[in-house]
Every structure is written in structure tokens, then in C-alpha cells.
Chain A
Amino acid sequence: MTTRLGADSRRGPQIISPGRLALYGTLTLFAALFVLPFVWQLGGSLKTPAELATGSFNLFPADPQWGNYAEVFRRAPIATWFANSVVIAVLGTLGATLTSAFCAYGFAVLRARGSRLAFGMVLLTILVPYQVLIIPEYIVWAKLGLTNTPIPLVLPWFLGGGAFNIFLLRQFMLGLPRDMVDAARVDGAGELQIFRRIILPMCAPALAVVAVFHFIFMWNDFLRPLLYLQDPSATTLPVGLAGFVTRFARQWHLLLAGSAIALAPLVIIFALAQRVIARGISVAGVRK
């Protein structure tokens, strides 16, 4: 510490060059552009309708109206939507993380003819937008009588867990030392044992990345719950909230409070999992 201080003082008085100042200015300006709307929203959710109509530029209200939140809970089944969202996001994340790791083990560790072809199929599914599949899938779930249950939203994630997740975990597993797998095989360990006892624990950082990103994806997902959970008591927070926009048109204080409730879990996860998210981005950047 002392040497660093000494090194700094030798450079003379700290003057920030104009170039650096411009850099920080630009970065701060854009960071504000991305963050301020959320602050406005939070402030707006605590204002009275009258204050929203006149003094919108104050970030925070003169007299915080916590009652806005109580009113939202009274006028819409927010607690139910929230619980539904949690159940669906947790189950979907569990399924996607487990099965994508399982499949990634096949692609990364096991050698087989047809492996490249099968992996090509994984990548191909990235190119098919879900929107083009909704009609037949909706018909099947409706005929099976499984709409308004979490099954259509959760079950598909237990089958493969999504191409991105398989891809990311495969990349990570390819970077692991292979000798451990070979040694375990010589010792007579089966593939399931190697997967569970050796590979899975070593993949913990990558699994965390997949879990965090998939949870965020599940929480934000809109089209699927909109299709399959049309019953207001079975639906999720985003679908309920979308209804707010038309139902509470011009009652912005309620709309803003509702969206603050929907954003809260994401902001908390975002704050808690910053390192995981940053690492996930650098993993995503490593591609061949």
C-alpha cells in the first residue's frame, strides 16, 4: 500500500486530462440514461396522481404515498401472480440447469459418431423463433387440458434445457482437464458417477451462470404465460401487469407501483449475482 502511495505522489499532483474527463462524462451520461428511468419509476410509484400530473421532474415525491402499493395489492391479485411467477421460474430454472448440464456432458465428454450432427441440431434450434411454433403447441396443451397449469411452461425446460445453456456448459466442460475423467474410468466409475461426482461439482461456476440467466429469462417471459395461463388466478406477474396498462390507463401511480413490484426480484438478483452475471458475459464472449 505504501509503495503505491509513493508511486502516485512521484507523478506529481493528480490532474485528470481533458480526454479522461470527456470519457467519464460520456460514460456517466449514458449510465444515467440507463438507470434514471428506474429511479423515476420508483419515485413515481410513490406520488399522488395529482403530483404525477404536474411535477413529474422531481425524482422523489414530497410526501411518499406508500398506500399506492396497498391499493395495487387490493385491486389486483398481485400476491398470487407473484407466487405463480416464483413457482414457474424456479421449476423452469431447475429443469434447464440440470438437463442442459446432462446433455452438455454427452457433447463435451463422450465420443460418438453422430455427435457433431446432433450438436448441429442444438445450434439449429437457436434459429427457430418460438413464435412460429405457438399454434400447434397451444392446440396440444389445450387438448390435453393442461392450460392454466405450470406444466406447458416448465416441462419443455426439463427436455434439453435450451440450446444456449447446452452450448455454454459444453464450452465450459471442454475446458476442464480430461485426465480426471479418464482416471475415474480406469478406477471403474460409470458415466453417471463421473457426471455427478466429478464434472458437476467442477462446473459449479458455469451452472450458477446458467441458473441466474435462465431465472431472469423465465421471470421476464411473456408470450408463453400469456398463451397458456389465461385464467387470472393462474397467470404470472408480467401477464397481469400487461393488463394494468389498459386497465389502469392514466392511473400511472398504480401502473408504476405494479411494475416496481415486478422489477424488484430482478433488481435484487442483479445486485446479488453481479459477479455471476459478469462472468456469464465473458463466457458468452468466448466462442469459436
Chain B
Amino acid sequence: MRFGLDDDREALRSTARDLLDELCPPAAVRAAWTAVPDPAPWQALAAAGALAVLVPEADGGLGLDETYLVPVLEEAGRAALPHPLTETALVAAPLGVAGPMVATDLGGAGSLVASATFAEAFLLVSGRGLRLYEPHEAEIEPVETVDASRHCGRVRPRTAGEAVAEDPDAVAAAFDRGVLGTAAELLGLSRAMLELTVGYAAQRHQFGKPIGSFQAVKHHLANARLEIEFAAPAVLYAAYAIAHGQPDASRSVSQAKWLAGRAAAVAGREALQCHGAIGYTTEHDLHLYLKRSWALARAWGSADFHADRVAASISA
């Protein structure tokens, strides 16, 4: 029995963190609200092997499992990376789709797809399977969303595309991987919002003291820390369960998504409250993370959807 990130996994995490700190700072996320995201962080992630963690070594990948990818996805969430890392590295890569930046409607409602305006390939639900389309094979209708850096659109295929998965089990497994990746990103977003707020609470003075010295503020932030503390092992376990084909894998990803969604909801609310009016502006960076977390909390299955999946599996 041994549970936790070892040095190899920590090394991948810190590689991702360093390159995202440099190439995907809040200014880059903000810029992605009004233009196609700068490809620099994506290219750096690709060069570091992060897109191909799950690709076999024989095919030029790292040949590792989901427990290595999850820490990287947490970092992507922490940076609010506007590119589809979960969709590309965790959903599509194990289906043999390696290379293009992939967007998918698998976790959305109907035809809603994130990264629709700049993805290099679309993985779309078709009957009981999944098919892959190049951008010119699809009709892409951009839509306005609360987090404009998501670049969502309605995507409808114009051709038959290419069959990628026809087995419903493979589709279900791809969905579970998407849920896992989203949970990891939500966890990272929660950490980012908490870090931002701890920094602000130490520096912002009212009544002649840093607001972080007030017990009411401390308790808000302790609550956020608590949710993160207990969501993180569940996210890691879900990755382990998928990697090792455990019978509870689907339940575990639902648990991870539910807990990480809750962590993001608590961290987001506490962060906004502790920032006060400055956090309620679009000039401050908080809204970049907040709006992303609202979108991801409901994408790939809502809290109730996942609670019901868990209930069914524990015979409640």
C-alpha cells in the first residue's frame, strides 16, 4: 500500500507548472478572451510530452498512465489554460488520435463544443460511437459564453468523418476520462483561486490590519483549503482506478468530479467574497478562473448527475 505522487509524477507536474507559469500567465488567458489563444503554451506542452503521456512509447509517446497525466491537468487548470488538454491528451489520445488539437462534444449538452473555433480536429458523438472530423468537414457556429476564453461553438458534421470508436464501452470509457480530466482541472482552478485570495488577504488592509488576520476571512479560506485537501486524493485515485482497470473506475471518476466541483464552488465563492468589490471587476484576474470553474463544474456531467451515478453503484 502506497498512495501519493512519487518523484516521477511530481517532476512532470513541476515541468508543466514551470512552463505554464511562463507561457500561460493570467495575461495570456485574458488575451484569449478576444483572440485565438496563443499557441506557445500548447507547443511547449507538446514538446514536453504532455500531450502524449498516454501514447505508447513505440508511437513516440511517454507510454505512461493516467496517474501521470492528472498532475499535469491540475496545472493546466491552475493556469486556466484555454486549450483543450483534457480532450486531446486524455480523451482522444488513447483512441489512437494523436497529433491534432482535439475538441469534442462528448461532455457537453447537444452540440456545444469548447475550443470550437481553433481546434484541429473534432471528436463527435455519432449514434453509439465516436467519429473524427477535420474542421473543414464540420459546420462551426461560434456562440457567446460566460467564459469567452473557452471559444465554444455549435459543431455539426458535414461529412461522414472517420470512425474512431464504435463500441459503446469505448465511448463510455472516453467519457469517464473526460470527466477525470475535468475534475483535475477543477482542482487546479480551486488551488489558483485560493492562492490568489490568500495573497490578496495578506496584502489588503482594512481597519488598519490585513483582512487575512480577521477570523471570518480565515474561516472562509480554511473552508476552501479543506475542500481541496479531500478532493485531491479522490482525483488521484480515479486516475489510478482507470489506469488499473478497477471495477470502481466509473464511480471513482464521478466521485472525483463531484468533489472537485464542490471544491471549485466553495473556493470560488470564498475567493469572490474575500476579494470584495475588486474581485467583482473584470479588471481583476479572479473572474478568469471563476468563470472557467462555473463552466467546468457543469460540463461532463453536473454534480447531481454524478451523485446519481454514485448512488446507483452503492445500491442507494
Q: Do A and B bind each other?
A: no
Interface on B for A, CB 8 Å cutoff? none
**Chain A interface (Cβ < 8 Å from any Cβ of B):** none
